Amino acid sequence: KPFIRFENVTKSFGSQTTAVDDLTLSIYEREFFVLLGPSGCGKTTLLRMLGGFEQPTSGRVLLDGQDLSGVPPYRRPVNMMFQSYALFPHMSVEKNIAFGLKQEGMPKAQIGERVQRMLKLVKLEKYASRKPHQLSGGQRQRVALARALAKRPKVLLLDEPLGALDKKLREETQFELMDLQQELGLTFVIVTHDQDEAMTMADRIAVMDAGKVLQVATPAEIYEAPNSRFVAEFIGNINIFDGQIVEKTGSAARIRDKSGTEFQIALGSNAQADGSAGLAVRPEKLQITRERPADAVNAIDGEVWDIAYMGDLTLYNLKLDDGRIIKISTINSRRRVEDALTWHDRAWVSFAPDAG
């Protein structure tokens, strides 16, 4: 049973902008749900409608079966942590966390107790009397998180919560947020434009573009079986061979790409195997070798154009004779061997029929 439901929700700003376009989406209780999409696709607007900071132009937002139309933000069992954190600069950490509770009229002793618990939760006990400007970016983020959690919402909304943090801290904080969500048993709805972040944290992801949801699925499903070219290209790296289906037998097909190369492919459940088609293959599903592998079903040769050694992985760009670039990644599970490929070498890229 859905806990949060957007039903045919549209939000227009003036006559020009449709930020959210007839969108229907269900989120379950205790889910770690991520809204992912490029800047301007309507993520923040969708979150703000759930928080009660914007009203839909049409459609409804439901929580636990209740229509939220006309329910003001403070009456919703939902709290939002804003992109900018929006901490009060002249107030201590403690007072920032206590602010919403005071406004609610909670007794003083109870506020003190709650604030202490929140400080402990986000590991800021020693910083209670500091002002926001005396904290690091990561600590400020945790204050904002503690403040948003202090009122014990059933749903926590986080708009780009880690955007201001550097890479290392961001990755650590991703795991902290996941632990926290588990521990508190809350429903988290998080907005991000960062696909790695979404893949790391989400139970399910909704990929958005231009005010619409294109696919809702687990990270693995989205990565392995994207339902559209947009989703395939937005999540991770991918090679797409555009061509025509020339023969189809059961679950196998042959596809001829623009340059006349033919590939044998296995048709997955997402495949639409008629006429023109795009064969999409992730870089790690491709092999790169100096010679054409004897047993290769699908292989093309080209010139090694770029090599990026990343420690755990090596990324290759192979330039085909018609100028197209194919991206290949290999795992460096062993030490680099002497006959490693180098720039401008001729090489073969090959893949199995079920790689796409």
**Residue 19 contact, options Mg ion, ligand ADP, none, Cβ 5-8 Å cut-off depending on partner type:** ligand ADP
**Residue 42 contact, options ligand ADP, Mg ion, none, Cβ 5-8 Å cut-off depending on partner type:** ligand ADP
Cβ nearer to ligand ADP, comparing 44 with 174: 44
Nearest distance from C-beta of residue 144 to ligand ADP, angstroms: 18
**Residue 175 contact, options Mg ion, ligand ADP, none, Cβ 5-8 Å cut-off depending on partner type:** none
Cβ nearer to Mg ion, comparing 79 with 239: 79
Cβ nearer to Mg ion, comparing 44 with 314: 44
CB 202 within 8 A of CB 34: yes
Rounded to the nearest angstrom, the gap between the alpha carbon of residue 213 and the centroid of all alpha carbons in its chain is 13
The binding site for Mg ion (CB under 5 A) comprises 44
DSSP reduced 3-state for 350 = strand
Cβ nearer to ligand ADP, comparing 37 with 226: 37
Nearest distance from C-beta of residue 10 to ligand ADP, angstroms: 12
Nearest distance from C-beta of residue 158 to ligand ADP, angstroms: 12
Nearest distance from C-beta of residue 45 to Mg ion, angstroms: 8
CA distance 172 to 260: 47
CA distance 347 to 356: 21
Cβ nearer to Mg ion, comparing 17 with 182: 17
Copy the structure tokens of residue 68: 């939220």
CB 231 within 8 A of CB 209: no
**Residue 15 contact, options ligand ADP, Mg ion, none, Cβ 5-8 Å cut-off depending on partner type:** none
**Residue 16 contact, options Mg ion, ligand ADP, none, Cβ 5-8 Å cut-off depending on partner type:** none
Please give the DSSP secondary-structure letter assigned to residue 337.
P
Please give the DSSP secondary-structure letter assigned to residue 203.
S
The binding site for ligand ADP (CB under 6 A) comprises 13, 17, 19, 37, 39-45
Largest CA distance in the chain: 77
Cβ nearer to ligand ADP, comparing 15 with 269: 15
The strand order across the sheet containing 78-81 reads: 78-81, 155-159, 187-192, 32-36, 204-209, 212-217
Please give the DSSP secondary-structure letter assigned to residue 151.
T
Nearest distance from C-beta of residue 24 to ligand ADP, angstroms: 17
Nearest distance from C-beta of residue 151 to ligand ADP, angstroms: 24
Buried b vs exposed e over 324-339: b needs ≥16 C-beta within 10 Å?
Answer: bebbbbeeeeeeeeee
Among candidate residues 150, 147, 141, the one with its CA nearest the CA of residue 174 = 141
